[in-house]
């Protein structure tokens, strides 16, 4: 098995487990991540997913040896490694130690939150190999970083420290080496304790509204969020507050 799947208290952890290849993605790994992400999205009891890597590294991107063998590492409906273009309603958190390079960096860009060890290294290194960062690097990075910084990362293919990306707002939290997963779990548990319908709709609006004009954004937001205010969870949240107890969410 090149991917491990663990579930505890509504939080699923996907661990890429190819440490001998710095967790580079071949076909078997891509398929396993794809299936794990679908499992997270379809399971009512799973509230949050975490993506991480084994052996001290996150992911070195596409396995170039697998590329030369013609292995399929992306899927039409979900992109590279079954995640970079996945339409998933649950939040995903990247917990990064060591290298997050090329497609590995692009997996992180597809996540909602990023936690990184202080010695983690990031780079879109595709052009160094005659390839392009078309698993999200070219289109997501300019939306998440200043344009000139994004151009530098893409065109130089250099590798950068977590501190630089945190300075520009691409990383939520930088932690001591070896603590990225625990920090990601802390975020995940907070999110998992919130109303699942409210979280899902909030995530949807956060993602889709980037393309909305100022004249339509509130109307479009209200179309999506109206159901939250009419939901059983909204009533439960208000009741739990009034009764000073922990809410019991139904996700509806």
What pLDDT shows up at residue 38? 96
Mean pLDDT of 76-89: 95
User: Taking Cα atoms as reference points, which of 12, 2, 94 lies closest to residue 45?
Assistant: 12
From 126, 152, 223, 243, the catalytic residue = 126
Specify if 249 maps to a domain.
no
Residue 251 pLDDT grade (very low, low, confident, very high; cuts 50, 70, 90): confident
Q: What is the pLDDT of residues 98-127, one digit of tens each?
A: 999 999 999 999 999 999 999 999 999 999
Mean pLDDT of 142-147: 93
Specify if 251 maps to a domain.
no
For residues 181 and 135, state if they share a domain: yes
Note the pTM of the prediction, 2 decimals.
Answer: 0.95
Instruction: Write b or e for each residue in 221-252: b if 16 or more Cβ atoms lie within 10 A of its Cβ, otherwise e.
Output: beeeeeebeebebeeebeeeeeeeeebebeee
Structure token pair of residue 140: 């997501």
Give yes or no: 20 in active site.
no
Instruction: Write out the residue range of the structural domain in which residue 78 sits.
Output: 3-192
Residue 163 has pLDDT above 90, yes or no: yes
For residues 23 and 77, state if they share a domain: yes
Q: Find tokens 């970083």 and name the residue.
A: 145
Query: What does the angle CA 96 – CA 100 – CA 106 come to, to the nearest 5 degrees?
Result: 105
Start-to-end C-alpha separation, the chain: 36
From 6, 8, 20, 106, the catalytic residue = 106
- Gap between the Cα atoms of 162 and 57, Å rounded: 13
What pLDDT shows up at residue 12? 98
For residues 132 and 214, state if they share a domain: no
For residues 119 and 75, state if they share a domain: yes
- Gap between the Cα atoms of 110 and 94, Å rounded: 9
Phi/psi for 93 (5° steps) reads -120, 130
What pLDDT shows up at residue 17? 97
Average model confidence (pLDDT) for the chain? 96
Give yes or no: 71 in active site.
no
Cβ neighbour number for residue 53 with a 10 Å cutoff: 28
Mean pLDDT of 174-190: 98
Residue 23 pLDDT grade (very low, low, confident, very high; cuts 50, 70, 90): very high
For residues 11 and 76, state if they share a domain: yes
For residues 223 and 160, state if they share a domain: no
User: Taking Cα atoms as reference points, which of 2, 109, 119, 121 lies closest to residue 54?
Assistant: 2
For residues 93 and 36, state if they share a domain: yes
For residues 131 and 219, state if they share a domain: no
For residues 107 and 211, state if they share a domain: no
Q: What is the pLDDT of residues 51-74, one digit of tens each?
A: 999 999 999 999 999 999 999 999
Residue 252 has pLDDT above 90, yes or no: no
């Amino acid at each position: 098995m090149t991917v491990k799947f663990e579930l505890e208290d509504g939080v699923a952890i996907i661990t890429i487990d190819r440490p001998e290849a710095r967790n580079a993605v071949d076909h078997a790994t891509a398929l396993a991540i794809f299936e794990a992400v679908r499992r997270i999205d379809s399971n009512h009891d799973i509230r949050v997913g975490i993506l991480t890597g084994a052996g001290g590294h996150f992911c070195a991107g596409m396995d170039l040896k697998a590329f030369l063998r013609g292995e399929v590492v992306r899927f039409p409906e979900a992109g590279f490694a079954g995640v970079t273009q996945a339409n998933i309603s649950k939040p995903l958190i990247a917990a990064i130690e060591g290298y997050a390079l090329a497609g590995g960096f692009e997996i992180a860009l597809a996540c909602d939150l990023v936690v990184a060890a202080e010695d983690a290294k990031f780079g879109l290194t595709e052009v160094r190999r005659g390839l392009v960062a078309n698993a999200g690097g070219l289109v997501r990075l300019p939306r998440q970083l200043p344009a000139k910084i994004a151009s530098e990362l893409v065109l130089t293919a250099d590798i950068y420290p977590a501190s630089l990306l945190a300075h520009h707002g691409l990383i939520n939290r930088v932690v001591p080496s070896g603590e990225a997963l625990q920090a990601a779990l802390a975020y995940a548990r907070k999110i998992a304790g919130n109303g699942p319908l409210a979280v899902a709709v909030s995530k949807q609006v956060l993602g889709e509204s980037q393309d909305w004009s100022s004249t339509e954004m509130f109307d479009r937001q209200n179309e999506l969020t109206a159901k939250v205010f009419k939901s059983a969870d909204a009533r439960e949240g208000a009741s739990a507050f009034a009764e000073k107890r922990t809410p019991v969410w139904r996700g509806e």
